[in-house]
Amino acid sequence: MNLNKIPKGIRSALPYSLKRFLVRQYVRWNMRKSPGSLDAPRISFASILPSQGSFIRGGKVKLTYLRKRFGEFATGYNILYLVSSTLPGFADIWVDEAKRKGIKVVWNQNGVGYPAWTSDWKKVNDLMKPITKADYVIYQSDFCRKECDEMVAKYNGPQTVLVNCVDTDKATPANPPLPLDPLNLLITGTHMTPEKVLLPLDAMRILLDRGMNVRALVYGPSDWPNADSDIEAKIAELKLEGLVEVHGKYLHDDSSAIYKRGHIFLHLKYMDPSPNTVLSAMSSGLPVVGSKSGGTVELVPPSAGILLDVPISHEALHYPSPEEVANAVETISKDWSAYSQSARAQAVAELSVAHWLKAHEEIFKSVLKHE
């Protein structure tokens, strides 16, 4: 049976060994039919995708593109597609049972755990150890590959680096363009640390004091303790009342309208492995001010934004200063049109869904042909 169907309170009380037994029985039932013909990919996402119209974020977003293009099969599938940042419970069982049934495993590797992010980083990384049994591994950035090699396990089989994608037909620049006065600073995504939201507000205060007319738009859940009160206190401290909009969760389908409201995208998350928000911003013609760390470096060329130097470490999180962020915003604002056009061009040329799906089609063909 699927443990997700069991109420959370009951599920948490089950012994670990019983949970594993139940999951294994469910997975075997799920794989009860022999894999379909190898002539075409028949894909399972291990039952992790919610129904259409549900709130989806992070690693699940890209799976909706695969589902639309290749479909999703509950049984009789020949490819099990797993994403490291949104694995099913007991992913090792899913992989072992797939190998036993002759089902190919394609593993999409995102970031890894490290001490500065969580004290449970070793447990987080242990969950990714089944990567070594995959038939093919897709790394979301070269940064992801190097981190996985160092912190999880080195995979020696067929592999490629394929960055995440964005629907460039939906995520488009505002038409007509928004007036640059006021200049809207956009922050989106899931905000796990205070710096991702509060630091831009400090930078905004500096810009206001320099005489620039700026606003801040914050979308997405803020997940650190006391986040709402912290944001309210910062707005009051900096006298930004009426100049900052704070919104919560939003559907992926609503994101194109959200990005059209911004001029410059601020993404200061440290060592972000492969940020989807940056892709959406660039496709929408928003230059990026971000951290020169993680996979962001592989996405944003100098013509499309400014990435700010930070120390690289697994032991502590590092951020640029508010002054550095303010200076970058001011620099981009003076040549905004050129930066904007470059960001959009980069997304269309290198980061589109069509490019990403074509690469997957070739990967699936190679996996199914390899016996």
| pLDDT tens sequence across 144-186 | 999 999 999 999 999 999 999 999 999 999 999 999 999 999 9
Same-domain pairing of 86 and 61: yes
The tokens of 352 are what?
């589109």
Q: What is the distance between the alpha carbons of residues 360 and 340, in angstroms, rounded to a whole number?
A: 29
Same-domain pairing of 205 and 340: yes
Same-domain pairing of 144 and 268: no
pTM of the model: 0.92
Residue 28 pLDDT level (bands cut at 50, 70, 90): very high
Same-domain pairing of 198 and 271: yes
Q: CA separation (Å) from 83 to 78, 97, 128, 339, 343?
A: 17, 17, 10, 32, 27
Same-domain pairing of 308 and 213: yes
Q: Which residue has the tokens 């190898």?
A: 38
Q: What is the distance between the alpha carbons of residues 360 and 108, in angstroms, rounded to a whole number?
A: 11
State yes or no: pLDDT of 79 exceeds 90: yes
DSSP for 142-189 reads HHHHHHHHHHT----SSEEE----B-TTTS---SSPPPSSSEEEEE-S
Closest listed residue to residue 247, CA positions, set 237, 262, 236 = 262
In a domain, 176, yes or no: no
In a domain, 68, yes or no: yes
Q: What is the distance between the alpha carbons of residues 282 and 300, in angstroms, rounded to a whole number?
A: 8
The tokens of 330 are what?
């001011």
Closest listed residue to residue 201, CA positions, set 169, 168, 238 = 238
Q: Please state the domain count of the chain.
A: 2
In a domain, 280, yes or no: yes
In a domain, 170, yes or no: no
Q: Are 139 and 145 within 8 A, CB to CB?
A: yes
**Domain housing 362:** 35-165+353-369
Q: What is the distance between the alpha carbons of residues 298 and 304, in angstroms, rounded to a whole number?
A: 12
Same-domain pairing of 203 and 309: yes
Same-domain pairing of 329 and 357: no
pLDDT tens digit sequence for 222-273: 999 999 999 999 999 999 999 999 998 887 778 999 999 999 999 999 999 9
State yes or no: pLDDT of 75 exceeds 60: yes
